[in-house]
Amino acid sequence: GSRGRNRSMFRRSKSRSESRHDVQTEARLRNHREQEEKRLEEAEAEKQLQQKAEKLAISEPKLSSGSRPHTQARSAFPFYPARAVVADDKVPWAVKWPDYSPTTFTAPHVLANDSTVKPGGWADPVDPTSVDWPCRASYEGPIAFDGHQQPLNPRGRTGMSQRGYLGKWGANHAADPIVTRFDPASGRLQVAAIVRSDNGVIALPGGMVDAGEIVSATVRREFAEEVLNLPSEAQRSEVTRLLDQLFAGGGGGKVVYRGYVDDPRNTDNAWMETTAFHFHCTADLAVQLPLRAGDDAHNVTWLDVDDAEPRYAALYASHKDWVDRVACELRLRKGHSPKAVAAPAEATPPAPQGRRKPQRSMLGLGRLRIGSPKAARPATTGYGASPPPSPPPSEPASPTASPPPSLPPSPPPPPRRSSCVSATADFLV
């Protein structure tokens, strides 16, 4: 009888233990599921917040090029019909112009890609009132509409209505990477540029932001698509590693500009806006990074940042303004003259010991004696470089020889003022 009772008590105890174990296991699983769901919700919320911040241009300071009348947006575009002529004083919408009659044009391929008709289409519907405007934003501020509920270009009239080659009513957002380096051979500042396959114009390797895409991801994608078209898997793997270095920090980069683009494709009702990021190559990356045209480009090159370079002077739309701001910052940061940018030269070796004739510095700061600590500083290229030391005499001078006649010193040149200071203060972050 006692053995039966013991066995019964053991079975009940075992059953209670298994029941407690099952309850604990279920609690742990439930807790794990709740934590995983919470993590996914937080990740999704963070993604949505980042997308909203970029869309509303609040994640970085807004840097606008000012409210001066746009010019490229009123110019001819190879695939557009002739625009109506708009004088500078007629550009603002606030100026009454009852007789304004813009050219009406939307490209056939835009109409064919209506997202409400064609699956996977990238263009807005023909009727702008069917657009979900509360989900649209412009870096330029609230969007205004005309009497037909068509959005109005924030910079004013362009001489053409409808959408032209642009898929969306209102702002069409793009991303433009400004990738610079110091040329390993010449030391000059260069920028990665492409020749666009659609119109043959020199431009930055940018592109349109896909729906739901983060702008920083667009920058990397477009740079890889347009200037790193490599055939082999091994080369693509190596370039991916180099891109990880260049675009470190999840897209990182410094925002140089965010806002309206004075683009020849703009119309009264559709316009380009962009975020331009700057990435500078390290010395090693400047040598290793290959450039090969792909996607929208049929040629790609490292272009000297120099107004004397015709291709640089002819950069597309507002691209040259952005690169000029980057160049100004690099010059001021490295102490170079705004006239010429180059990598710092090797340090000047100390001058031979002995008495040397004083020489006047090119900056007009008084006489510097070769061999002194002041003159032994590293030389730089461009304006402001110290003159090279005089070669040592072939034999020592006789103590009885008369000294050579001294020449009167030349007057110092007037100080040079940097043209980059105001631009940097206004536009660089």
Rounded (10°) CA dihedral 261, 262, 266, 269: 70
Calpha distance 62→257 (Å, rounded): 7
- CA torsion through residues 21, 22, 27, 33, sign: positive
Tokens of 107: 């490209």
Q: Which of 399, 406, 416 is nearest to 367 (CA)?
A: 406
Tokens of 207: 């592109």
Specify the pLDDT at position 70: 93
pTM of full prediction above 0.85: no
Rounded (10°) CA dihedral 243, 248, 252, 254: -80
Specify the pLDDT at position 346: 42
- Extract long-range pairs of 52-58: CB within 8 Å, 24+ residues apart: 54/214, 54/215, 54/216, 54/275, 55/137, 56/137, 57/137, 57/139, 57/258, 57/259
Specify the pLDDT at position 213: 58
Determine the residue type at 211.
Answer: A
Asked if residues 228 and 290 have their Cβ atoms less than 8 Å apart, the reply is: yes
Asked if residues 228 and 239 have their Cβ atoms less than 8 Å apart, the reply is: yes
Residues of the chain with pLDDT under 70: 1-7, 9-10, 12, 14, 16-18, 46, 48-67, 210-220, 222, 224-233, 235-236, 248-252, 290-298, 334-429
Our CA angle for 269, 144, 146, nearest 5°, is 65
Specify the pLDDT at position 60: 37
- CA torsion through residues 147, 151, 156, 159, sign: negative
From the CB of residue 211, how many other CB atoms can be counted at a distance below 10 Å? Answer: 8
Residues with Cβ < 8 Å from 350, sequence gap 6 or more? 371, 376
